Amino acid sequence: MYPIKGNQSSVSYLIRLLSPGYKIKRWLLLGGSGIFLGATGVAYLVKHFLPIPFPNFLPFYFEGFVFAIVAILLVLISLIGLYRSLAPYFATSMGSSAGLAEIIYTKRQQEKGPKMVAIGGGTGLSTLLRGLKEYSNNLTAIVTVADDGGSSGRLRRDFGVLPPGDFRNCLIALADAEPLVKRLFQYRFGNGTELEGHSFGNLFIVAMSGVTGSFEKAIHESSQVLAVRGSIVPSTTENLTISAEMDDQTIIHGESSIPKNGGKIKKLYLTPKAPRAYPSSIEAIRKAEVIIIGPGSLYTSILPNLLVPEIGKAIEESKAIKIYVCNVATQKGETDGFSVYDHVKTLRDHTTYNLVDHILINYNIKPLGTEFTGAAVEYGRYPIKDVKLIKEDLVNSDFRLHHDPERLARVIMKLYHNE
């Protein structure tokens, strides 16, 4: 169930492709049957010119022609079926160092991957998705809709749409599109124009919302354009605002304003208080085999999803493996000085005690250096009870504020198979 690595021979891949579920054997067998019947038809024609005994099923002037026509039809059908099974992979194999057999095997394994739901927003969610898409196409990203800053906030206010930024990042993370198309979606207009600060992808999604009549259809159609593996849905389609009560009793409104306050957050809440969940998000949670919460901004990316009552309840009732991926670094204005214990306590204080049953922790703790704000997240002084703690080297060695997508996904898949 893992992507193919190493120098395995094409013969071994071809042998694997003949195992059940790859939609190749059926067409090879059908083609072989056609060839057999064609040969039999030729034999029936030959027997009338050579003294070779053959059984008589039909009048002699029909036998050869019937067998030949049926054989041609079977071979044509098998070729069409084989082409339909293999055609989607030809484009992928062009310019790839991997062979066609290797690509087909990997893609088929991804199609049979577990049903997984990832919940969050921001850079953390897109990082997770980039790793998981190598193992499964059955992914659903549930994205927060509380963003009110930057390009997303402006478009939200001007056009009345959901903030598109996190959706754009998830689209790019799950896309199989050409690198140039990905770069186009991430292109941000420069200074001195009315489009300053907007990304092309955000504008594209807003324009698609106008064309299709809804933001949800816009995401679906954009997914088709980018050849996205899996689906991306909002936690709610209501006009959501998050507010934070600080330790000094002040109330801060708006996702973008909370980290700027600089104080310690005591409690987070939503307006409206109990927004309705988007139906597809609940359906995905109910069908999921693995539910992953985080990584990402604890207060402004993760909790806004979990505070939607139906989502929190659906996760709690789910029989899936439920994983919380703790951040590898603290975030200025949100989790200054937080340990793993503090992250989990905050999660439990705002939701329920038993929301998750596994916690992934990075054990590769090193100073981040002066170029980064925040600090590496350490375990903490207090024990975390009633969950399985999994400690692995999960940090991105090139950018220690973030997880490494491949390492994180590998650990999650190992956990899934072990469980």
Each residue of 384-406: pLDDT tens digit? 999 999 999 999 988 889 999 99
Asked if 14 and 119 sit in the same domain, the reply is: no
Residue 64, in any domain of the structure:
yes
Confidence tier at 16 by pLDDT (50, 70, 90): low
Position 412 in a domain: yes
Residues 77 and 133 in one domain: no
Has residue 339 been placed in a domain?
yes
pLDDT tops 50 at residue 290 = yes
Minimum mean pLDDT range among 38-47, 180-189, 221-230, 404-413: 38-47
Mean pLDDT within 283-311: 97
**Residue pointed to by tokens 């090879």:** 28
Overall domain count for the chain: 2
The rounded percent of the chain whose pLDDT value lies above 70 is: 79
Residue 284 has pLDDT above 60, yes or no: yes
Do 126 and 289 form a contact (C-beta atoms < 8 A)? no
Question: Are residues 243 and 323 both part of a single domain?
Answer: yes
pLDDT on residue 5 = 46
pLDDT at 178: 72
- We report the CATH number of the domain holding residue 376 as 3.40.50.10680
Residue 177 domain flag: no
Do 186 and 180 contact (CB within 8 A), yes or no? no
Same domain, 140 and 21: no
CA–CA gap between residue 373 and residue 366 (Å, rounded): 14
Cα distances (angstroms) measured from residue 110 to each of 201, 222, 390: 26, 21, 25
For the cut 50, the answer to whether the pLDDT of residue 161 exceeds it is: yes
* Stretch 340-346: mean pLDDT: 97
pLDDT on residue 253: 95
The residue out of 49, 67, 102 marking a domain boundary is 102
Do 279 and 368 belong to one domain? Answer: yes
Q: How does residue 383 score in pLDDT terms, banded at 50, 70 and 90?
A: very high
Structural domain boundaries enclosing 410: 113-145+235-418
Contacts of residue 402, defined as CB under 8 A and 6 or more positions apart, other chains included, come to 123, 124, 127, 295, 328, 329, 395, 396
Query: DSSP secondary structure string, 272-318?
Result: SSSPPPPHHHHHHHHH-SEEEE-SS-IIIIIHHHHTSHHHHHHHHH-
Q: What is the mean pLDDT of residues 203-212?
A: 96
pLDDT in tens, 311-341: 999 999 999 999 999 999 999 999 999 999 9
pLDDT of residue 76: 82
Q: Write out the two tokens for 120.
A: 């969050």
More confident residue, 303 or 91: 303
Q: Domain check: are 356 and 384 in the same one?
A: yes
- The verdict on 41 and 123 lying in the same domain is no
Q: 60 pLDDT exceeds 90? A: no
Residues 88-123: pLDDT tens digits? 565 554 445 555 556 666 666 777 889 999 999 999
State whether 96 and 121 are in the same domain: no
Which run of H or E residues covers position 391? strand 388-392
Residue 28: its pLDDT value, please?
67
Asked if the structure places residue 61 within a domain, the reply is yes
Residue predicted with more confidence, 370 or 284: 284
Residue 21 has a pLDDT of: 56
Q: Do 355 and 312 meet the contact criterion of CB atoms below 8 Å apart?
A: yes
The torsion angles phi and psi of 252, rounded to 5 degrees, stand at -110, 125
- Amino acid identity for residue 321 in this structure: I
- Give a yes or no: residue 395 inside a domain: yes
Q: What is the mean pLDDT of residues 288-306?
A: 96
Q: Which of 74, 102, 130 is the last residue of a domain?
A: 102
Query: What is the per-residue pLDDT for 10?
Result: 54
Query: Is 197 within the bounds of a domain?
Result: no
What integer is the mean pLDDT of 259-272?
A: 92
* Whether residues 255 and 342 fall in one domain: yes
Q: Is the pLDDT of residue 1 over 60?
A: no
On whether both 19 and 47 belong to a single domain, the answer is yes
Q: In this predicted structure, what is the pLDDT of residue 6? A: 45
Domain co-membership, 140 together with 23: no
Residue 156 maps to a domain: no
Question: End of a domain among 102, 131, 162?
Answer: 102
Are 95 and 122 within one domain? no
